[in-house]
Structure 1
Amino acid sequence: MRLVQTNLRETDVTIDPERYVESLREFSANVVLFNAGGIVANYPTELPFHYRNPLLRGDFLGEVLERAHAAGIRLIARFDFSKVNEVIAADRPDWHYKSVAGDSVSYNGQVHTCLNGQYQQEHSLEILAEVASRYPIDGVFINMHGYQVRDYSRTYHGICQCDNCARRFGEARLPRSEDDPLYPSYEDFKTRTVAELFERRAATVKAVRPSIATCNYTSAGTDIFRLESGTHMVDGLPDFTYSASHHVRLVSDSWPGMAVSNAAVHFVDFPMRHSAVSPHLTALRLAQDTVHGGWLDFYVMGALDAQEDRRCFGPVRDLYAFHAAHERYYTGTTSLADVCLVQPKDPGPEFFGLFRILAEHHVQFDVLREDVVGRERLRRYAAVVLPDPRLSIDTDRPVLTTGTIGAGQLQGAYFAIRPDDKKALSGLDDLDLVYLYGAFEPYEGEGEPFLAYIPPHMFGPPEKCYYTEISDTPGLVRTPSGDVVIPWNIGTHYEQYANDGHARLVMAALRDLLGLKPRLTTDAPAVVEVVARDNPGARALLVSFVNLTGQSGTAFHAPVPVRDIGVRLATDRTPLRAHALRAGADVPLSHRDGTVSLTLPELSLVETVVIDYRE
């Protein structure tokens, strides 16, 4: 699927439906995510609590849907029930979200609603039923589903204190902050009530027509799991280079069989929605969607013809057309991962740093969220990586656990890599220590010790910059069961400072202590992402390459071509032919002792080498 989301404004309802659909065809789109209702109804609703677009003159939704279907384009109807127009909300205070200060929140005339109020619990279902009954829509998407505590300026208003929340929560009171003793119970309450409401909404539309697909940001009751790769300036820059890869991996690996659509967000950020990010960043996000088997998904504010920043249109059209021409290869692929990286429910820099290390060293890995891992699911992997010592899993696979839950910011501390360490850990011949800049909680169990902790020492002036103590406290331990523990935030170090010494230690632990023998090896530079997947339906192995050389700090430029990338892939398949999809040319290969070897002549942004095989 190739989706385009045109997040329509009130003023867009006056555009020509015929031209609107034609603009989608020009992008090779076969799905459109279209504003139907919620904040603004773009059809002649008969419900008194549903705000009709004041510029509506006919049935915009109906006219677009008819033309989209005639063009072979499916339509997912978009709804947003997190806010309601102030005219309708004025005499319905029981619908409102209430801040910790006890106030309603209104933003540009839209009043925040509470998930537990009548509008969301009952009237949202009536709106969904009205649209599903009137129109042959193909899917529904519900934006900002859940408990919204920030406005569009990202001002935090606190945990909702409305009577509906208090009644459903059932405790003596609602928590007023995240450090309140009641907050863990409230978190469970939120998870349960969010899933329950979405499942009711899904059941509402499927009762009208079971073929209507549900699309959401969570897994409960969802057919299409949608995520976004966007820029959030308040979170700091640069963007996570592997954002799209991460999102598609997370969904397809955690919930096999679920469709995943990861949006490449066109605009810079909420306050700058009319300006676009670098066209090379948009292209990079779409390339990563492609090679990991996700939908292509491009998200703009307003209709395509209304965009005032069109720099990315050429690359987007090109990638969509390429995907359309070769969709049979990118549909129904399965991972060839050696390693499972477990994602905590709230991933932090430890997770993202380990993700970068694995990706930059071309390890084939899956990402599974912590609540879906299990003994049987993990048996397919050679090793499991846990980026948090609090994670507890049941597995008979070797495990690398990193991180600490302790606080503190040690300065002037190191870990010595001794000669005996180097007998077991390869790739460290020219490295005798790595620095520690953060918390460290020494491992207290039994095991084989590696690395020696050097406590904080003098680091200035230069004349006093030396250490006098190397302790016996290890910085890495192999346990009696064969697992490995690194009891400090080595992933966080890499995410924040990207020191090669830390990455080398992680790879040495996987390779030399856990016995990882990667099925794919390559001489590709670290700034080329390499992804191997199988497509049983097409009887083909896919080795894909994404060129990240265009990133320079916060800037994304055109990638520099990379030439003559060698790849070796262990497989029990019998290869027949290799050909590069973008280049449209055969790639010579050799096959010996269960290993396919080939060389990609040139990589611009993205390329996939298809290795056809005999069953």
Structure 2
Amino acid sequence: MTEQMLDLTSNRRTILKGAAALAGVAGLSPFGLPRALAGDQPDWVWQPMRWVQINFTDDDPGRYDPQFWLDFMRRTQTHGVCLSAGGISAFYPTEVPFHRRSPFLGASDPFGDLAKACKAMGLRVLARVDPSVVHADALAAHPEWVARSGDGKPRKHPDDPALYLSCPNGPFSFGWVPEVIREIMSRYPVDGIFGNRWSGGHVGICYCNVCKTEFRAATGLDLPPNLLNRRDPALIAYNRWSDAKRFDQIQAYNAAARAINPQALFAPGSSWQRLDPKRLRTSFRAIYADQQQRAAGNPVWSAGRGAKEAACIMQGAGPISGSVNVAQMEFKDSVQSIDETLTFLHDGMAQGFRPWLIKFKAEVFDKRWVAPIEQAFAWHARNERYFRNTDNLADVAVLQSLQTNSTYRSGGSVNLQPVSAMTAGGNEAALNGAYQALLEARVPFSLVDDRDLDPAILDRYRVILLPNIACLSDAQCDSIRQYVRRGGSIVASGETSLYTEDGTERTNFGLADLFGCDYAGQVDRKVENSYIGIHGPHPLTAGLDDTPRIVGGTRIVRVKSANVPPQNPLRLIRSYPDQPAEEAYPREPASDDPMAFVRTFGQGRVVYFPFNLEQLFWEQGPRDHLILLRNAVTWASGRPQPMTVSGAGLIDVSYFRQERSLAAHLVNLNNPSAVRGYMHETVPAGPFVVNLELPNNTRPSRIRLLEADRNATFRQSGSRLTVTVPHVALHEVIAVDIIPAQVKNTRREPKPTTLLGLSWRHRDEDLPVTPGQCDLSKGHHLPSA
């Protein structure tokens, strides 16, 4: 039996069969994966839905209780584990030179024993390897392994000066690390390697002789002096070279693992954000969003954003798992508030990640987290089929731009602790503002990466927001232009497309033809006490028509246009002093300068705001700007969102499809610690009325509320369901089982609609007319399956 388990060249079914047999001998009850999933999926990485990661500390051998973890994984129906194996410390009896064994290891093998026991239970096993640190003996023997500062001195670890940072680009990474991988893969029944700080960790730019020589050979340049001047040609070349080295690492580590087990993988835990998405999807089989938790000053929706970022990179090419750490991070042996941890966990799950629990130290001191996490995992397991998403049904997306964040400075806040896994930068406030506004407006939305503007991706959405996406190449501008010509719509703001991809200012917007205006040659970068006059009624001013003026931009782009409608709904009221109070009055009448351009282009629609709308909403929080952005998305879309929610409270929403079902998520973000800090209590919310659009040619067979664990009250009219959700404690899911509809009429000509004096046709797909539609005046309960 054991030999069969260790035959790592066996196929997937043989390995699982051996694991089940060994579990039976050991008296364990293999809960594992459904038989169909285990045998029929083309790649095993799609199978695991719940992961547990145990990070050993040096003193764990002989102290921790392995049975605690095996019992915990059984009760939570965990599918995969990630166990500390080596790198900084080896938690098995390694024979690789300079691979330091844990000083408490003795004759034990904590990694190997736990890995084999987990395999016997039918779990997938990843071996965690952290190659970011070199010990003093390795430095003495191999000085070329260590990262160097600009003066040539070895770089010490920022928190432990007895340790040294390894160079990610030289023989340590490309020679020593693969040797460790091959040793682990050949000795133990593991499915792959999880790389922690695999790409350099704290290093930044390494100035060792290897890096100097290779960089000059590749580019003809010297290494840049620092990472600050983002337009420095040497830094631009360095980033490209470094990215290429990361792909070389991934290829080398995958090759080392697959040489032993052809089905194995190398799974980078982080540092994938800079990498080209298209190439990344051919290199990664799965992404692990290694965010773990949010900083105290970051928004409560951080986990959801991290899940969306990973999804927009993978585009369905592999599963997404999101890490959740139960520790207080800077005090790793203390437990974080469980309300905070559960909200982080559930918001990530609602936006598409598979939960990945991380526990620092295998020995458990504080067990307050155990029962709540157990319950959350068990709930996820009971309802697993509603989390195996095949499509995100959101109609709206927000464009994220690493190049804008890297090369542009808005003058707004830059959070040194990024909201999510994506690197913080100069445009972070605008992206955060767009995210917050759509969340408050309860608009289901995704993220799109500006390196990934293919029609197959863009055309999934009716509306794409460009929140001050300042830096766009000519090719990227043309991709957006063609998207709008084909019938897509955009809502843009501020300096969008005013700069090229490297930050060079254009003489005109790259998207001037879409915006309907030209750049007048100036950006007012520090505007105080300006306002916007409201001139409705107009689709943009709905909800503001009783308001003469609202807060204006603090960064205004001067524009000119020969085709501004005489009744533009938003007009600039120019800045005037706000102190002393006696002097706070306008010095001139309201101008005719438009603060919004609303138009059609090709088959699509465009709304452009020539000021920092989203940044202002993020930093100042004026509700009027939330209304403006919501109205712009509503008009640009031209039809109801696939999921709408009415009711009081702050909730995060999403709407996914699975193979035979739909899942509409409502995550309750209400809490008394909303101003700052971590959540210590979740305040129940509800009731809510949720309206859902059914996909073409489907009808519901059962509708349940998963948190309430009961059938739902609903009404159906045509292709839309209205479901009542009386109460959301933390995370309610409207689970809709669907079956093909009996189609009477699959063609229905949409009626022309007149809006803003423009005649247009709805761009909705043809929806079937189904028999037996419910009377909207009555509530119904569907029978249980």
> What pairs up with 1:270-309 in 2 under 5 angstroms?
271-303=330-362, 305-308=363-366
Amino acid at match of 1:544: H
Partner of 1:8: 56
1:48 aligns with 2:94: no
Partner of 2:252: 200
CA distance in 2, matches of 1:266, 1:409: 42
Q: Deviations over 1:239-260 (max 9, x none)?
A: 2221111122222243213111
Amino acid at match of 1:569: L
> Aligned with 2:141: secondary structure?
coil
Partner of 2:674: 552
> Aligned with 1:274: secondary structure?
coil
Residues 574 and 172 of structure 1, relative CA distance in 2, 3 Å threshold: closer
Q: Deviations over 1:415-460 (max 9, x none)?
A: 222246x465322223333324532222356654552222221101
Match of 1:541 among 639, 644, 662: 662
Amino acid at match of 2:545: D
Deviation at 1:17, TM superposition (A): 3.4
Partner of 1:164: 210
Contact 2:524 / 2:558 at 8 angstroms: preserved in 1? no
CA distance in 2, matches of 1:101, 1:431: 62
> Aligned with 1:288: secondary structure?
helix
Name which of structure 1's ranges 408-417 and 435-444 shifts more when overlaid on structure 2.
Answer: 435-444
Deviation at 1:496, TM superposition (A): 2.2
Match of 2:150 among 100, 122, 139: 100
1:113 aligns with 2:194: no
CA distance in 2, matches of 1:472, 1:335: 42
Amino acid at match of 2:170: G
Match of 1:38 among 75, 87, 90: 87
User: Aligned-pair RMSD on alpha carbons?
Assistant: 2.2
Contact 1:43 / 1:62 at 8 angstroms: preserved in 2? yes
Contact 1:447 / 1:478 at 8 angstroms: preserved in 2? no
1:505 aligns with 2:651: no
> Aligned with 1:575: secondary structure?
strand
Q: Deviations over 1:117-161 (max 9, x none)?
A: 2111211111111111111102211111224345xxxxxxx6221
Partner of 1:400: 491
Contact 1:443 / 1:477 at 8 angstroms: preserved in 2? no
CA distance in 1, matches of 2:250, 2:261: 17
Q: Deviations over 1:210-236 (max 9, x none)?
A: 222332232632222111344575xxx
Match of 2:550 among 411, 421, 434: 434
Amino acid at match of 2:245: T
Contact 1:40 / 1:51 at 8 angstroms: preserved in 2? yes
CA distance in 1, matches of 2:560, 2:200: 41
Partner of 1:227: 289
Partner of 1:68: 118
Deviation at 1:516, TM superposition (A): 4.8
CA distance in 2, matches of 1:328, 1:520: 20
Residues 410 and 455 of structure 1, relative CA distance in 2, 3 Å threshold: same
Deviation at 1:338, TM superposition (A): 0.7
Match of 1:138 among 174, 191, 209: 191
Deviation at 1:92, TM superposition (A): 1.9
CA distance in 2, matches of 1:424, 1:287: 34
1:259 aligns with 2:307: no
CA distance in 2, matches of 1:227, 1:432: 46
Higher-strand-fraction structure: 1
CA distance in 2, matches of 1:145, 1:526: 41
CA distance in 2, matches of 1:124, 1:411: 55
CA distance in 1, matches of 2:700, 2:294: 44
Contact 2:443 / 2:643 at 8 angstroms: preserved in 1? yes
Residues 514 and 324 of structure 1, relative CA distance in 2, 3 Å threshold: closer
Contact 1:339 / 1:382 at 8 angstroms: preserved in 2? yes
Deviation at 1:42, TM superposition (A): 0.9
Q: Percent identity over the alignment? A: 24
Partner of 1:153: none
Residues 432 and 122 of structure 1, relative CA distance in 2, 3 Å threshold: farther
CA distance in 2, matches of 1:441, 1:286: 40
Contact 1:579 / 1:610 at 8 angstroms: preserved in 2? yes
Deviation at 1:280, TM superposition (A): 0.8
Amino acid at match of 2:172: Y
Partner of 2:759: none
Partner of 2:727: 602
CA distance in 2, matches of 1:110, 1:103: 13
> Aligned with 1:298: secondary structure?
strand
Amino acid at match of 1:297: W
Q: Deviations over 1:320-341 (max 9, x none)?
A: 0111111122113421111121
Deviation at 1:515, TM superposition (A): 2.6
Name which of structure 1's ranges 335-344 and 511-520 shifts more when overlaid on structure 2.
Answer: 511-520
Match of 1:214 among 262, 266, 269: 266
Contact 1:80 / 1:143 at 8 angstroms: preserved in 2? yes
Match of 1:486 among 595, 609, 621: 609
CA distance in 2, matches of 1:175, 1:319: 48
Q: Deviations over 1:500-524 (max 9, x none)?
A: 1111111111222553531222213
CA distance in 2, matches of 1:350, 1:463: 34
1:328 aligns with 2:372: no
CA distance in 1, matches of 2:548, 2:200: 50
1:456 aligns with 2:575: yes
1:338 aligns with 2:398: no
> Aligned with 2:686: secondary structure?
strand
1:84 aligns with 2:146: no
Deviation at 1:175, TM superposition (A): 0.2
Gaps of 5+ in 2: 1-48, 406-423, 499-522, 741-785
1:382 aligns with 2:462: yes
Partner of 1:365: 445
Match of 2:591 among 460, 464, 471: 471
CA distance in 2, matches of 1:9, 1:36: 11
Contact 1:361 / 1:526 at 8 angstroms: preserved in 2? no
Amino acid at match of 2:154: S
> Aligned with 2:299: secondary structure?
coil
CA distance in 2, matches of 1:232, 1:188: 29
Contact 1:450 / 1:477 at 8 angstroms: preserved in 2? no
Deviation at 1:583, TM superposition (A): 1.7
Residues 570 and 353 of structure 1, relative CA distance in 2, 3 Å threshold: same
Amino acid at match of 1:432: P
Q: Deviations over 1:38-88 (max 9, x none)?
A: 111111111113112221122222111111112233221111111112222
Partner of 1:154: none
CA distance in 2, matches of 1:77, 1:424: 54
Q: Deviations over 1:351-394 (max 9, x none)?
A: 12111111221112111222123122211211111221323351
CA distance in 2, matches of 1:516, 1:352: 25
Contact 1:362 / 1:526 at 8 angstroms: preserved in 2? no
Contact 2:442 / 2:652 at 8 angstroms: preserved in 1? yes
> Aligned with 1:12: secondary structure?
coil
Give the greater-gyration-radius structure (CA): 2
CA distance in 1, matches of 2:708, 2:317: 30
CA distance in 1, matches of 2:151, 2:611: 40
Residues 431 and 456 of structure 1, relative CA distance in 2, 3 Å threshold: same
Aligned residue-pair number: 599
Name which of structure 1's ranges 10-19 and 445-454 shifts more when overlaid on structure 2.
Answer: 445-454
Scaled by the length of structure 2, the TM-score of the pair is 0.73
> Aligned with 1:431: secondary structure?
coil
Amino acid at match of 2:320: V
